[in-house]
A and B are shown apart, each in its own frame.
Chain A
Amino acid sequence: MNFSELFKQSNQLCKVSPDGKYLATCVQYRLVVRDVSTLQILHLYTCLDQVSHMEWSSDSLFILCAMYKRGLIQVWSLEQPDWHCKIDEGSIGLVSSRWSPDGRHILNTTEFHLRVTVWSLCTKAVSYMKYPKACQKGIDFSKDGGYMALAERRDCKDYVSIFVCEDWHLLRNFETETQDLSGLEWSPNGCVLAVWDSCLEYKVLLYSLDGRLLSTYSAYEWSLGVKCVSWSPSSQFLAIGSYDEKVRILNHITWGKIAQFEHPASIDNTKATVYKEVERRPAVPSDELLQHNIKVGSTLLNTKSKYEICAPPIQIPVVKPDPDRANPKIGVSVLAFSSDSRYLASRNDNMATAVWVWDMQKMSLEAVLEQTAAVRCFQWDPRHPRLALCTGNSKLYLWSPRGCVSVQVPAEGGFQVQSLSWHCSGDFLILLGKDQLCLCYMDAEQEENGRLWRRKKDRK
């Protein structure tokens, strides 16, 4: 495992182009584009203000930089560095901006969710979509980019509009059976739209592309409901995380529940492996892997940590949420399927130090990673069943079915990993600190490394 030097960034704006060739970072009001392989700067663009949002177009040819405070958008071209485009939303304000899937349109959501403005870069045409709903996830494009679902609110009722992205033709507009729609998400195959209600009611609705209601699912009543929803990449499963600290898996044939994953504070499942991160002072550098991979000298000031396999029963530290506060810190808030739909990772908010990995074939708990600090972010490798996570310290943690490892980032100046994202090839990770970033390259001889990662259990 190798690490690049540190680069500056701001607002954690750092994205790899969809084709995986370029790395764009924003530093204050400058946009820097580098070659991923050499990390050399290819282009340098100067924006009008500090960039608050940055996004690659789907064809990796354009980069959108949004300056929400000013209500401005600037678009830069990689092929033609002197080409420029500036969109001013004017006094109406701007809260969100995104590319359409074709990479030739920009969708701006104005302040107060007055409307969604669609700007065409081809024709300079402007079109409006009225009554967008301000919610958790009000706009979603299908994976192939053909359709867009938009949540709307009119006359105190929720509607969903489905647009054809090609020419923004309104394909369907239907009322949903929700009290207060909170989010919608296309299935990866683009045929089913999952719609869920706000946390006050547990309700998940599944609509077909043509607006038919396929199924309604409600696990319970009179209690805080859905917290997050995630489709499996194969569109087979819909995972619903809720405030009752459970994940429910729906199948794609009957849309009924096929499994329920609980997050108990005491784990006595003997089949699951529990990895507990153990910190210790760097007096004895014992772990071969760490020794091998980390440059000696840079880590002396940091505490080392390693994983230990614990035998059940194990107590996971639980933080009791404040019942008087809104949005209590309880329940499953993050769900992520691995790229092969084999594993599901989840985090329960009142056990913020633990990440739970579930096997979707056996429909059982596979592993639990108990960290010493609260987990900030985790993401699956887009190619392999490999989970990377960070807890806001100088370490990177990786889990794979073969084992678990903690890696010290050998960067000086107290680089703390706040978030991370995989390169689409799965070859390297981008680690984002507060105002710096670092690339972490997985070794080419990954298999060999994997052998070292073999479960410590086997060694015992």
Chain B
Amino acid sequence: MGERWTTETSMENNEISRMSHVMMSPSRQSNLELAYSLSTYSVIGAFCTEDNVPQCLLHINQELASLGLPVCIEASSPEGANLNAVPVLNAVYELLQIHRRDMCTLEEMEKEQMKKSSSLDLIQMTNSRLKDQLELSIREKSGLYETERQLQLKLKTLQRCLKGEKDEVQKLQSIIASRASQYSHDAKRKEREAAKLKERLSQLLIDRKDKKLAIDVLNNLGRSDGKRSQWRTTKATASHEGEMYKFLLCDYEESQKSLVLENAELKKVLQQMKKEMMHILSPCQPSSRGATADEELAESDEDEKTRDSSRDTLDQSCEHAREQLTNSIRLQWRKLRNHVEKLDNQASQVLHQMESNKDMIPFETHQDEMERMRHEVQQCKEFIHAQQQLLQQQLSTSFDDETAALLYDCYTLEEKERLKEEWRLFEEQKRNFEKERRNFTEAAIRLGREKQAFEEDRAAWFKNHFLNMTPFTNRRRCSSSDGQSSLSIISEPEIRMSVKAHKAKASTYTTFSTPKSSRSTAAPSTTDLYRTLRLIPDCSSSMHSNQVWQESSTNGDEDIRIKSKSRGLHCSDLDIFALGEDDSLT
């Protein structure tokens, strides 16, 4: 009998812990509910009653077998009133194990499910997004298609236009050409007509024998050259031809002479140039081209030869001589060019060296330059400083002293006003604070009194209880209440607290309960409770109030509203604080 009771209690215990664990409900409440459910359980007897124990056992055994547990629970007595504890416990343990595992897997699966659902969501989202994008791009594509089509249409029309224009141009050109030909034809016709008319006119004039057409000279003049006029004869025409050719010949001769002269001059210049070139080149040749001295020699010999030959043939001025001369000049020129190029290269090298030297040498000059520049910078700085000073002076003098003083007064006045305002605020807050403190003290006193009454009540209750207690009367009720006290001695003040908390405001209760319930299944210690009670509101309130203080000090009347609001909050916090303090005192 006693054994069964223990199993039951252990089961109950287990259930309690599990419930508190899984359902995450506030333990105090669950405790209370448990007590209630236990009482109802015992009354109704849902599954197993004292009458159907064997059936229950059988059922359970079957169930266990179906679960694959080998253990079977047997009744220790044929009546089935008592059970063999070991297999039951084992079975229970196995079941628990299974259950835990299942829970674990469930949890994992849930997690996985969640993960999967979230990933599914994600995928769906991306899918929808991609769909949107697809739609957008499809729309874009269609738009582009449309524009392309339009452009193609345009192109086609333009091409047609171009073709038309081209045709037009061609037509116009042909028209122009035809017009031009027509015009020229007309012009020619007209001109012919005009010529015919002219002819006719002159004929008519001659036919008419114009009387007026006459020359009236007093006496004939002699020729300007004094000669008599000559008869027109073939001889005369021949002489004219001859004269003309003579004239032309003269002109050509003259021009030729001048050309020859020019040529001779140019040749002379060329010769001189050549000579000078050779003169220039010859001394530097051995030095510049030591390796090819022989070649040079040969070349110079050749030059000499060509020069001689050219000199010989200068008078003949035949093609050959000219060629030779030009060739030799060309040769010389090439040499000279090479030489000049070399000189150029040398010069550039020298220049380069000079430059490189320049980089090396002027360290001192560089230093000097740096020094100079530093000096300059210093000067500039001084200058700037002086300017700044002058500027400031100018600025300060631009305000006269009176205005400056006035301004200063203004500033101080403003400052004073501000300070006064702040002082006022501070005073008000101080007053409020004082008031609150008084309230707290009153509340503390009241609480103390209530506590004393409560203590007295408890003492009376204990005494009453002690006096009334008998082992076998009202056992169940007793076991439930006593079991609670015996099983969880640590949770006793907690229960008390919860009872008290029922008296307190609901909001504060929830704020307290959540942190506690999130803790381990083991009942919280009093120190923990105290800490949660004392520290959390304490910290938050102090911080909050501080902040409010600061805010009110900086801001205007809008903050006063906030402050008053916060004061209410503050009050409640302090209430709790006082509660905690009270508890810790007890």
Which A residues lie at the B interface, using CB under 8 A?
Answer: 58-59, 82-92, 102-104, 112-115, 119, 121-124, 126, 130-131, 146-147, 153-156, 164, 166-167, 169, 171, 189-191, 208-210, 252-253
- Chain B residues near A209 (CB, 8 Å)? 244, 247-248
B181 to chain A, nearest CB (A): 14
The CA-CA distance from A155 to B243 in the complex, in Å, is 31
B213: chain A residues at CB < 8 Å are 88-90, 92
Surface stretch bound by A, among B224-232, B317-325, B458-466: B224-232
Stretch of B97-105, B191-199, B264-272 on the interface side: B191-199
- Pick the residue among A83, A115, A131, A167 that contacts B230 (CB under 8 A): A167
| Contact indicator B237/A146 (Cβ below 8 Å) | no
- Residues of A within 8 Å of B202, CB to CB, are 92, 114-115, 130
A124–B211 Cα distance when bound, in Å, is 16
Pairwise interchain contact B212-A164, C-beta atoms closer than 8 A: no
Find chain A residues with CB under 8 A from B230 CB. 167
When A154-B195, A210-B244 are in contact, do A167 and B217 touch as well, CB less than 8 Å? no
A121→B241 contact, CB < 8 A = no
Q: Which residues of B, 329-364, contact A by the 8 Å Cβ criterion? A: none
Query: Is the CB of B502 closer than 8 A to any CB of chain A?
Result: no
B401 at the interface (CB under 8 A from A): no
Cβ contacts under 8 Å, A253 to chain B = 259
Interface contact A122-B220, CB-CB below 8 Å = yes
Instruction: Enumerate chain B residues within 8 angstroms of A208, measured Cβ to Cβ.
Output: 248
Taken together as a complex, chains A and B put the C-alpha atoms of A103 and B205 apart, in Å, by: 28
Q: Does B405 contact A (CB under 8 A)?
A: no
Do B245 and A210 have beta carbons less than 8 Å apart? yes
B215 near A92 with CB under 8 A, answer no
Query: Distance in Å from the Cβ of B243 to the closest Cβ of chain A?
Result: 8
Given contacts A86-B215, A114-B198, contact A123 B220 (CB under 8 A): yes
B568 sits at the interface (CB 8 A): no
Interface: B216 (CB within 8 A): yes
Contact yes or no, A124 B215, CB < 8 A: yes
Decide: B232 and A169 in contact? CB cutoff 8 A.
Answer: yes
B222 touches A164 (CB 8 A): no
11 additional contacts (CB under 8 A) given A90-B211, A122-B222, A122-B223: A83-B218, A90-B210, A92-B213, A154-B195, A155-B195, A156-B187, A169-B240, A171-B244, A190-B251, A210-B245, A210-B248
Q: Do A164 and B223 touch (CB < 8 A)?
A: no
Q: Are B221 and A122 touching (Cβ within 8 A)? A: yes
Q: A115-B202, A190-B247 are in contact. Are A102 and B225 (CB under 8 A)?
A: yes
Pull 17 A–B residue pairs with CB atoms less than 8 Å apart, ordered by A: A59-B224, A88-B213, A88-B214, A89-B213, A90-B213, A91-B205, A91-B210, A91-B212, A92-B210, A153-B191, A164-B244, A189-B251, A190-B247, A190-B251, A191-B247, A210-B244, A210-B245
In this complex, the interface size class of chain B, counting residues with CB under 8 Å from chain A, is 35 or more
* Closest 4 A/B residue pairs (Cβ): A90-B213, A90-B212, A90-B210, A191-B251
The distance from the CB of B209 to the nearest CB of chain A, in whole angstroms, is: 10
CB distance from A312 to the nearest CB of B (A): 35
Q: How many inter-chain residue pairs (CB < 8 Å) link A and B? A: 110
Q: Collect the chain A residues with CB atoms within 8 Å of residue B106's CB.
A: none
Quote the shortest CB–CB distance from A163 to chain B (angstroms). Answer: 10
Contacts of B198 in A (CB 8 A): 112-114
A92 to B229, CA, bound (A): 29
Digit string of B241-255 for contact with A (CB within 8 Å is 1, else 0)? 101110110010001
Q: Report the minimal beta-carbon distance from A215 to chain B, rounded to whole angstroms.
A: 15
Shortest A318–chain B CB gap in Å is: 31
Shortest CB–CB separation between residue A164 and chain B, in angstroms? 5
A87 to B217, CA, bound (A): 8
B237 touches A169 (CB 8 A): yes
The answer to whether A124 touches B188 (Cβ under 8 A) is no
Given contacts A91-B212, A104-B224, A208-B248, contact A85 B232 (CB under 8 A): no
Complex alpha-carbon distance, A155 and B232, angstroms: 29
- A84 to B219: give the CA distance in the assembly, Å: 8
Contact across chains for A87 and B212 when beta carbons are under 8 A apart:
no
Q: Is B236 an interface residue (CB 8 A)?
A: yes
- Nearest B residue to A101 via CB reads B224
Cβ contact within 8 Å between A87 and B215: yes
CB distance from A160 to the nearest CB of B (A): 15
List chain B residues, Cβ under 8 A from A154.
195
The chain A residue sitting closest to B212, CB to CB, is A90
**B contact residues around A90 at 8 Å (CB):** 205, 210-214
In the complex, residue of chain A having the shortest beta-carbon distance to the beta carbon of B220: A122
If the complex has contacts A104-B221, A121-B220, A122-B229, are A156 and B248 also in contact, measured as CB distance less than 8 A? no
Q: Are the C-beta atoms of B223 and A104 separated by less than 8 Å?
A: yes
| Contact, CB under 8 Å: B245 / A121 | no
C-alpha spacing A145/B396, complex, angstroms: 99
Q: Does B273 sit within 8 A of A, measured CB to CB?
A: no
| Bound: A102/B232 CA distance, A | 18
Are A169 and B236 within 8 A (Cβ)? yes
**Partner pick for B216 among A58, A87, A89, A130, CB 8 A cutoff:** A87
Chain A CB within 8 A of B201 CB = yes
Contacts A92-B205, A156-B191, A169-B232 given; does A102 touch B251 at CB 8 Å: no
B252 closest partner in A (C-beta): A191
Contacts of A84 on B, CB cut-off 8 Å?
Answer: 216, 218
Give the chain B neighbours of A113 by CB distance below 8 A.
Answer: 198
Please measure, in the bound complex, the distance between the C-alpha atom of A98 and the C-alpha atom of B201, giving whole angstroms.
23
Whether A119 lies near B223 (C-beta < 8 A) is: no
Q: Which of A85, A102, A155, A190 contacts B215 (CB 8 A)?
A: A85
Q: Which partner residue on chain A sits nearest B211 by CB separation?
A: A90
The reply to whether B212 and A103 contact each other, CB–CB distance below 8 Å, is no
CA–CA, A59 and B224, complex, Å = 8
Contact B240–A102 (Cβ < 8 Å): no
Decide if B240 touches A164 in the complex (CB within 8 Å): yes
A124 touches B225 (CB 8 A): no
Residue of A nearest to B225 (CB): A102
- Point out the residue from A114, A153, A171 that lies within 8 Å of B240, measured CB to CB: A171
Contact A86 B216 (CB under 8 A): yes
Shortest distance between the CB of B490 and any CB in chain A (Å): 109
Contact A124 B240 (CB under 8 A): no
- On whether the beta carbons of A121 and B221 are closer than 8 Å, the reply is yes
Min Cβ gap A250→B in Å is: 15
- Assess the B215–A119 pair: CB atoms within 8 A: yes
B248 near A191 with CB under 8 A, answer yes
Closest to B230 in A: A167
In the complex, A89 Cα to B229 Cα: how many Å?
Answer: 24
CA A91 – CA B188 in complex, angstroms?
A: 28
Contact check, A112 vs B248: say whether CB atoms are below 8 A apart: no
- State A317–B212 Cα separation when bound (angstroms): 54
**Distance, CA A371 to CA B566, complexed state (A):** 96
User: Are A121 and B217 in contact, with the CB atoms below 8 A?
Assistant: yes
Q: How far is the CA of A87 from the CA of B212 in the complex (A)?
A: 9
Chain A residues contacting B219 (CB-CB under 8 Å) are 83
| Bound complex: CA A146 to CA B225 (Å) | 13
**Min CB distance, B194 to chain A, in Å?**
8
B205: chain A residues at CB < 8 Å are: 90-92
CB distance from A119 to the nearest CB of B (A): 6
Q: Most B CB atoms within 10 A — which of A59, A167, A208?
A: A167
Residues of B within 8 A of A87 (CB): 214-216
Give Cα distance in the complex from A210 to B252, angstroms: 13
Within the complex, the shortest CB–CB distance from A280 to chain B, in Å, comes to 48
Q: In the complex, A2→B198 CA distance in Å?
A: 53
Bound form: Cα–Cα A208–B259 in Å: 19
Kindly list chain A residues whose C-beta atoms are within 8 Å of the C-beta of B225.
Answer: 102
Whole-angstrom distance between the Cβ of B244 and the nearest chain A Cβ: 6
Residues in chain B near residue A88, CB distance under 8 A: 212-216
Q: Which residues of A contact B236 (CB under 8 A)?
A: 167, 169
A167:B247 contact, CB within 8 angstroms: no
